[in-house]
Structure 1
Amino acid sequence: MIRFAGLVGAALLVATASFAQQADQPVLKGEAAFGDWRADRPGVRRLIRPEDMQAPYVTESVSNGPGVVERPEEAKPILPPGFSAEMIASGIANPRVVRVAPNGDLFVANSKDSQIRVYRLAEGSAVPALRSIFASRLRRPYGIAFYPPGDNPQWVYVANSNSVVRFAYRNGDLKAQGKPETIVDKIPRKSHWTRDIAFSPDGKTLYLSVGSYSNVGEEGMGKEPEGGLDAWVKSKPLGAAWGLEDGRADVLAFDPDGKNRRVVATGMRNCAGMTIQPATGALWCVVNERDSLGDNVPFDFATAVREGGFYGWPWYYIGNNEDPRRKGERPDLAGKAIVPDVLMQAHSAPLNIVFYDGKSFPPDYRGDAFVALHGSWNRGVRTGYKVVRLKFRDGKPTGEYEDFMTGFVVSDEAVWGRPVGVAVAKDGALIVTEDGSGTIWRVTYDASRS
């Protein structure tokens, strides 16, 4: 890591000083919503609609990965009035998904070190009373789920890059008591490797997301599948890809024992995070869309997943926008790609989502969702690197989202944090992981501070 403390401090001062001026601004729409990190701060709201989509190549496609700098001791995320963040842990190689066990323990996938960590916090505190390595020698673990859903799970399921395994579990276990049992195997592991998992509310269905192999099917996927397109279309789900992309860019479903594999939805380039909406029982995905079409094309998104739905990849995006790199290949799919529910700035890289069902935040947060944006690499000026709040009304998304947790970007060249995981703790706090500096945060609300 590069040391960049001066710039971090300057960025924090600028953001804090301008927060009050930004919090009451109107919702940013159209091109006004296509800003960069310099316009980000808690309270800034955006509404991006399908008709706001620019044509491809309006701007040049660039490679602009972040320089990750050392987090200075005084640097903290910036939050709305009344909220504060305390650090739970730091120095973790690659903290990714975080999930909360029924007893309140935090299970964290430390993907680079191939392990699952557990943190048990002291009551009302960010201080871990206990910490442990629950399981190790995994293969880039990411998604975590407890089964059956409810207060008394018997198993912890873990999604490796190439499989789903489970460990026998009883509430309060800090270490796995036995070897992992493989439930789903032969999952393609290369390229997009972030496999998330979730169970349906009734516990009968295990969902698994599998991202694409390539950006837009340019590697290992010819214009037509072996045996011809007509035969493929008749035997496969709508929008299914082939070659090295066969079984990828999909959300899959299984019985809890790993049997009865089926395809739930296709055409999702990389559904890197899944969750169940408590109010409706619907499965939601956050999706990283494709690269190299310009700074603002196409939008990333969050969406309820429709059974049998096709979301466009690789031929179309955000509805009926045809990718010029695959132009004319699938006219049969024109008009069949679903428009997602919530559109976000292109290249924001959403990695995880959770619905807020706690009671410690203000009442208007209940039923909304938090999404962790890992941040752009394929954009001239950075976007993402924050946690946003998706607004819902009566269980339905309004399409609007609001900056909630910012302050991770230092300058046009450097960042100290890259949010990945979001979860709601048993006490209603929001738990956030970020893999730039390898930290875990506990976000709480106190009305007296607002």
Structure 2
Amino acid sequence: MKTAFSLGLLLAFLPLGARAQTGKYTSAGDCDGLPRIEVSTPRGVCVGVVADGFRFPRTVTSLADGSLIVVDMGGWVPKRGSLWRLSPDPATHTYVKRKVLERLDRPHGAAVGPDGLLYIGELSRVFRFNPDAADPAATVETVIADLPTEGRHPLTALVFDKQGYLYVNRGSASDNCETTKAYRPTNGRICPEAEGHSARGVIRRYALTGPNRTATRWSNYAVGLRNSMALAIHPDSGLFVQGENSRDSISRKDRSLDDRTLPHEELNIITPWQDYGWPYCYDDNKASPEFKGFDCSRMRKPALLLPAHVAPLGMAYYSGGMFPDWYKGKLLMTWHGYRDFGQKLVAIPTDAVGRPVGEPLEIINGWYRKGAQPMGAPVGVSVGKDGSLFLAEDKNGTVLRVFFDPSKGNGIPTPGLSVNPGKDPDLEARCQELATRDDSFSRIQRDIIDPLCTSCHGAAGGNAGNLRLARCDDIGNAQRLLAPRPGRSPFVVPKSLKSEFYLRLEGTTPGLPPMPAGGLSPEQLEEVAGWINEGAPVPVSRAPGTDTPVATDGTP
């Protein structure tokens, strides 16, 4: 299957000011021959669409010949993942898109091994293959099997060091060791899933020294890391860094803590055999509210605290030649999160060995929804052979290229982090009240609806599917889901997992993809099922003087 992405050519024939549609993005110009998207960048830097039409692209890996391997996870449904090769055509400034592998089980991570083969992290295994073979599928070999897959963070990120060791993320099965069906409850001091050889929330190290260079044994190289989706190793010094996706809902156990601003995400320098604190500690070694009094002094502190909930999912040190010297050695990081400081590509200043020495600066911001432009959510980042940057962006199913033209500016970002606009007092008051509630639907509002649904179903988004889901409006959203519809059942029928809302989230509605894009994690889906099985109660407002309708029995 070969298709040429040719909107770059189309732009050459458009009159000045005309707008071309490229997937979900609308382009009004070009970026080195590719359709340019409207985001904020330093002067001289632009972002163009390399290819679209992916289901849920998560990582992009640059190969030596200038082509790209794209890992398309396909969503949270098993066996829908695929791998694609994008090969540049210099004559047309386009890329040829070809499927390489299919029917993969929720693949995510990718890394080129010391043998030149490509290593891919599926949900339960790591395999390698030769992307240059006439039949790449015939070269697939399992390298690591039987990875644990249960719980909240089952995806596999990976990276090689200079000695050829392979490091694999095993994210936590829980948020912060709360009781779930996946493992035993805690005893108030010790979290079973964070302890022992088979612990979760760790980075495992594998030596590929077994038969046929496979691995059956591992060591827990670093522990106390809730979810290490962003991993990078400095190309010269070998310094190992990790971007920590910190816990959610910290206010559940301590209402004096603000879930909007705490805990911070972290940038950690990984030192062998160290404990980085999860789930007992957060930020600069503060005891988590579930483990008050815990001695965090022996835990490894973060090298840099990042804004809360930005969700760092990709990292790479810049060593290319396209961008100005200012970029040399900087640590590039994608912020996937949908909250105030998310949807960004940032550069973190570093010293000669790669340690952070300054605050993040924004290479791409303004990726929030505005007009016809959709919100973007970058995941993987890779430095191309020509020194440009490539991003996998899963919300709109695209691969993007970040290009620098010195004739249009110096390309250097300005200090300071921008906050997504659109704040209004009513919304802020609603969000503050939501942060104080801990009922089942309010948690769904915070953890699922706000970050994943409101950009399409919010009032400004056109109420996709004729369902309005407003930001921080847990009471109104629960009522709308339970409201009668002419000629149809409500979106949610209490105590029925045959409800349309649940089936769409589960991805089992015939002929329709799971919603939101990419689907929900198993843990999130279980949270929705719990609310429906409780009878779908509507949250109760406790705000004095509010005119928000109040309901307590699940009736809108």
TM-score, normalising length: structure 2: 0.60
- The letter for the 1-side match of 2:392 is T
Query: Following TM superposition, by how much is the alpha carbon of 1:360 offset from its aligned partner in structure 2, in angstroms?
Result: 0.9
Answer whether contact 1:120 1:131 (CA < 8 A) is retained: yes
Rounded to whole Å, the distance in 2 between the matches of 1:305 and 1:442 is: 30
Alignment of 1:169-208 (within 5 A): 169=130, 172-173=132-133, 175-178=135-138, 180-190=140-150, 191-203=152-164, 205-208=165-168
Q: Which runs of 5+ in 1 are unaligned?
A: 1-68, 233-238
Rounded to whole Å, the distance in 1 between the matches of 2:171 and 2:91 is: 37
Aligned partner (choices 29, 33, 41) of residue 79 of structure 1? 41
Q: Secondary structure at the match of 1:303?
A: strand
Query: Following TM superposition, by how much is the alpha carbon of 1:223 offset from its aligned partner in structure 2, in angstroms?
Result: 2.6
- Please say if 1:325 is aligned against 2:290: yes
Match of 1:339 in 2: 301
Match of 2:203 in 1: 251
- Please say if 1:127 is aligned against 2:94: yes
Query: Following TM superposition, by how much is the alpha carbon of 1:408 offset from its aligned partner in structure 2, in angstroms?
Result: 1.4
Query: Following TM superposition, by how much is the alpha carbon of 1:260 offset from its aligned partner in structure 2, in angstroms?
Result: 3.4
Query: Following TM superposition, by how much is the alpha carbon of 1:70 offset from its aligned partner in structure 2, in angstroms?
Result: 4.4
Query: Following TM superposition, by how much is the alpha carbon of 1:369 offset from its aligned partner in structure 2, in angstroms?
Result: 1.1
- The letter for the 2-side match of 1:391 is P
Q: Secondary structure at the match of 2:136?
A: coil
Match of 1:290 in 2: 247
Query: Following TM superposition, by how much is the alpha carbon of 1:448 offset from its aligned partner in structure 2, in angstroms?
Result: 0.5
Q: Secondary structure at the match of 1:85?
A: strand
Structure 1 pair 438–126 and aligned structure 2 pair: CA distance change class (3 A) = farther
Rounded to whole Å, the distance in 1 between the matches of 2:351 and 2:402 is: 23
Rounded to whole Å, the distance in 2 between the matches of 1:174 and 1:136 is: 16
- The letter for the 2-side match of 1:308 is W
Structure 1 pair 216–173 and aligned structure 2 pair: CA distance change class (3 A) = same
Aligned partner (choices 269, 284, 287) of residue 304 of structure 1? 269
- Please say if 1:95 is aligned against 2:63: no
Compare CA radii of gyration and give the structure with the larger one.
2
Match of 1:241 in 2: 194
After superposition, what is the alpha-carbon deviation per residue over 1:175-231, rounded to whole angstroms, capped at 9, x for unaligned?
A: 51415322212212232132111111122x111011111100113243349xx97xx
Question: Bigger relative contact order, structure 1 or 2, given CA contacts below 8 A and separation 6+?
Answer: 1
Match of 1:429 in 2: 388
- The letter for the 1-side match of 2:306 is M
Q: Secondary structure at the match of 1:297?
A: coil
Answer whether contact 1:118 1:174 (CA < 8 A) is retained: no
Structure 1 pair 296–175 and aligned structure 2 pair: CA distance change class (3 A) = farther
Alignment of 1:389-400 (within 5 A): 389-395=347-353, 396-400=355-359
Structure 1 pair 166–415 and aligned structure 2 pair: CA distance change class (3 A) = same
Answer whether contact 1:216 1:314 (CA < 8 A) is retained: yes
Q: Secondary structure at the match of 1:178?
A: helix
After superposition, what is the alpha-carbon deviation per residue over 1:67-92, rounded to whole angstroms, capped at 9, x for unaligned?
A: xx943344433211111222101121
Query: Following TM superposition, by how much is the alpha carbon of 1:356 offset from its aligned partner in structure 2, in angstroms?
Result: 0.2
- The letter for the 1-side match of 2:26 is P
Structure 1 pair 440–269 and aligned structure 2 pair: CA distance change class (3 A) = same
Q: Secondary structure at the match of 1:325?
A: helix
Answer whether contact 2:229 2:245 (CA < 8 A) is retained: yes
Q: Secondary structure at the match of 2:368?
A: coil
Answer whether contact 2:71 2:84 (CA < 8 A) is retained: yes
Answer whether contact 1:320 1:335 (CA < 8 A) is retained: yes
- The letter for the 2-side match of 1:200 is D
Alignment of 1:269-418 (within 5 A): 269-293=226-250, 294-328=259-293, 331=294, 333-376=295-338, 382-395=340-353, 396-410=355-369, 415-418=374-377
Query: Following TM superposition, by how much is the alpha carbon of 1:174 offset from its aligned partner in structure 2, in angstroms?
Result: 7.2
Query: Following TM superposition, by how much is the alpha carbon of 1:446 offset from its aligned partner in structure 2, in angstroms?
Result: 1.4
Query: Following TM superposition, by how much is the alpha carbon of 1:444 offset from its aligned partner in structure 2, in angstroms?
Result: 1.4
- Please say if 1:222 is aligned against 2:185: yes
Query: Following TM superposition, by how much is the alpha carbon of 1:415 offset from its aligned partner in structure 2, in angstroms?
Result: 5.0
- The letter for the 2-side match of 1:272 is M
Answer whether contact 1:419 1:432 (CA < 8 A) is retained: yes
Match of 1:148 in 2: 114
Structure 1 pair 360–135 and aligned structure 2 pair: CA distance change class (3 A) = same
Query: Following TM superposition, by how much is the alpha carbon of 1:334 offset from its aligned partner in structure 2, in angstroms?
Result: 2.4
Query: Following TM superposition, by how much is the alpha carbon of 1:145 offset from its aligned partner in structure 2, in angstroms?
Result: 1.5
Query: Following TM superposition, by how much is the alpha carbon of 1:319 offset from its aligned partner in structure 2, in angstroms?
Result: 3.2
Which consecutive aligned stretches of 4+ in structure 1 deviate over 6 angstroms post-superposition?
none
Q: Secondary structure at the match of 1:364?
A: helix
What's the C-alpha RMSD, in Å, of the aligned pairs? 2.6
Query: Following TM superposition, by how much is the alpha carbon of 1:240 offset from its aligned partner in structure 2, in angstroms?
Result: 7.2
Structure 1 pair 315–180 and aligned structure 2 pair: CA distance change class (3 A) = same
- The letter for the 2-side match of 1:314 is P
Q: Secondary structure at the match of 2:314?
A: strand
Q: Secondary structure at the match of 2:111?
A: strand
What is the number of equivalent residue pairs in this alignment?
355
Structure 1 pair 411–83 and aligned structure 2 pair: CA distance change class (3 A) = closer
Answer whether contact 2:285 2:299 (CA < 8 A) is retained: yes
Rounded to whole Å, the distance in 1 between the matches of 2:324 and 2:184 is: 49
After superposition, what is the alpha-carbon deviation per residue over 1:41-94, rounded to whole angstroms, capped at 9, x for unaligned?
A: xxxxxxxxxxxxxxxxxxxxxxxxxxxx94334443321111122210112110
- The letter for the 2-side match of 1:107 is I
| 189-198 vs 282-291, which moves further | 189-198
Structure 1 pair 314–98 and aligned structure 2 pair: CA distance change class (3 A) = same
- The letter for the 1-side match of 2:94 is V
Structure 1 pair 415–269 and aligned structure 2 pair: CA distance change class (3 A) = farther
Structure 1 pair 282–265 and aligned structure 2 pair: CA distance change class (3 A) = same
| More strand by percentage | 1
After superposition, what is the alpha-carbon deviation per residue over 1:132-160, rounded to whole angstroms, capped at 9, x for unaligned?
A: 112112111111112226xxx1x221100
Q: Which runs of 5+ in 2 are unaligned?
A: 1-22, 29-36, 75-79, 209-213, 251-258, 410-556
TM-score, normalising length: structure 1: 0.73
